[in-house]
């Protein structure tokens, strides 16, 4: 009889431990999802910062062409024709124009 009571006591303790571990496991799964979201945001932010750094470097490398590009834009030339004349990609011309607009807004 005493063995049955000990067995039942152990069984109840094991059931309680199992339920507690299930609850903790559920909480940990939620925390993992939150942390994965944070990691994704971090990776996206790093990628965006690296892309911005490259874009700024491109503009700085072509800084000497800024005046020529802006003169051509003011004359009504298309980005494609400016690209052909100066031998730089259209994307860099667009970056130069964007940075020039930012610079003008900052000085106003």
Q: How far apart are CA 108 and CA 104, in angstroms?
A: 6
What are the start-end ranges of the H helices in the chain?
2-61, 66-74, 79-86, 90-107
Chain segment 41-100, per-residue pLDDT in tens = 999 999 888 887 877 776 676 667 888 888 888 888 898 998 888 888 888 888 888 888
Looking up tokens 């730089």 gives 88
- Write down the pTM of the prediction: 0.45
Check residue 62 and give its pLDDT.
Answer: 62
């Amino acid at each position: 009889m005493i063995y049955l009571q000990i067995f039942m006591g152990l069984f109840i303790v094991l059931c309680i431990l199992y339920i507690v571990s299930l609850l903790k496991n559920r909480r940990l799964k939620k925390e993992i999802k939150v942390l994965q979201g944070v990691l994704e945001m971090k990776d996206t932010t790093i990628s965006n910062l690296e892309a911005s750094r490259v874009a700024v470097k491109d503009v700085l490398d072509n800084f000497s062409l800024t005046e020529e590009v802006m003169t051509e834009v003011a004359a009504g030339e298309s980005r494609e024709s400016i690209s052909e004349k100066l031998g730089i990609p259209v994307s860099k011309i667009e970056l130069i124009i964007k940075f020039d607009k930012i610079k003008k807004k900052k000085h106003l």
